[in-house]
Structure 1
Amino acid sequence: MRLLVLCTHNSARSQMAEAWLKHFAQELGVDLEVHSAGTEKTYVKEEAQRAMAEVGLSLEGHRSKTLWEVPDPWNFHLVLTVCDQAKEACPAYPARTLKRHVSFPDPTGKPLEEWRRVRDALGRMSLFLVRNLKEGQVPSDETLAQAAWGA
C-alpha cells in the first residue's frame, strides 16, 4: 500500500507523521510505502528534528517537497492530510484513492513542549492507523482523531 501524508509546508507535522508511519510499519511487518509532501515547499524544522530524536526517530535525510517531487504522485491508496489548510488544497485524486484527515495544530513558534504534544499525538494516530492497515481496514477520520487526541 502507498500512503501520502500531506501538510502545508512539509516542514513539521507531515515529516513527523512520515517517520512514525514508517517506524510502525516496519515494527509491525506491514508492507507500507510512506511519503510526505506539502502544498508548498520550505524546509524541515529543527524543532521537529529535535522532538523526533527524543523518541529515537531521525529526520536526517528528510527534505521538504511538494507533491510533484514524490514518486508517482497520482498513485496513492491513501492520502492523509494533517492540517486543515492542506485538506482544503488537497488535489482531486483518482476514485480509488481514500482520503483521511486529522487536524493537528501547528507547533511553529511554540515551546518544545507543544512540539512534543503534537509529536506524541501523531505517534498515537500513526500506530492506530498501521495496526488497522495490517488488519485490512482504513479507520475513519473520527477514529483516527480519537486515537491521536483521545477525544
Structure 2
Amino acid sequence: MAEGFLRHLAGDRFDVASAGTDPVGLNPGAVEAMKEVGVDIARQESKKVDRFLGQRFDYVITVCDRAKEACPTFPWAQSLLHWSFDDPAAAEGRAEERRAVFRRVRDEIAQRIRRFMARERKANKDPAQ
C-alpha cells in the first residue's frame, strides 16, 4: 500500500520500489482498500528485498516491525526510516472487521507519506510543489 500511495501522491518525484522479506503476492484486502480511495495497486509486484541489495537509495523505509528486524542492512542508503504499522494481513475476525483493519492501516500509511513528502519538500525548498 505504501508503494501505491507514494507513486500516486508523488508522481515522478521519487523512483519508488517496494519489497518484502518473505513476499507472497498482493493481498486482495490491500488491493480492495486502495481501490476504495482511487489508487490501483493491482499490477504491483511482490518482490523479495534481496533483489535490491547493492543498489543505492536516498531512503529505505520499513513499514512493519517484523520487516525491520528481518530486513538486511542497507549501508548504501542515505536514510533508513522505520514507520511502524500493524500488518493488516494478520488481522483476525469477520470479513468486515478485517476490511476495517486494512482501511485503518491504509489511512495511517497515507497520512505518514503526506507528512514525509511535506518534510522532503521543505528540506529541498521545492517551491513548485
Using the size of structure 1 for normalisation, the TM-score is 0.71
Q: Normalized per residue, which structure has more helix? A: 2
What are the within-5 Å matches in structure 2 for residues 1-151 of structure 1?
A: 16-26=1-11, 31-70=13-52, 74-94=55-75, 96-108=77-89, 109-110=91-92, 111-136=98-123
Q: 1:45, 1:99 → 2: CA distance? A: 25
Tell me by how many angstroms 1:31 deviates.
1.9
**Contact map agreement 1:74 1:94 (CA 8 A) in 2:** no
Q: 2:3, 2:54 → 1: CA distance? A: 16
Query: Segments of 4+ in structure 1 off by > 3 A?
Result: none
Tell me by how many angstroms 1:96 deviates.
4.9
**Contact map agreement 1:67 1:73 (CA 8 A) in 2:** no
Equivalenced residue count is 118
Structure 2 unaligned blocks of 5 or more: 93-97, 125-129
Q: CA RMSD in A?
A: 1.8
Alpha-carbon spacing, 1:51–1:136, altered in 2? closer, same or farther (3 Å):
same
Alpha-carbon spacing, 1:49–1:96, altered in 2? closer, same or farther (3 Å):
closer
**Contact map agreement 1:37 1:65 (CA 8 A) in 2:** yes
Tell me by how many angstroms 1:38 deviates.
0.4
Using the size of structure 2 for normalisation, the TM-score is 0.82
Q: 2:101, 2:42 → 1: CA distance? A: 21
Bigger-Rg structure (1/2): 2
Tell me by how many angstroms 1:95 deviates.
5.4
Structure 1 unaligned blocks of 5 or more: 1-15, 138-151
Give the share of equivalent positions with the same residue, in percent.
Answer: 36
**Contact map agreement 1:51 1:119 (CA 8 A) in 2:** yes
Measured against aligned partners, the alpha-carbon deviations of 1:28-69 in whole angstroms (never above 9, x if no partner) come to: xx6211110001121100000000000000012112111233
Alpha-carbon spacing, 1:120–1:75, altered in 2? closer, same or farther (3 Å):
same
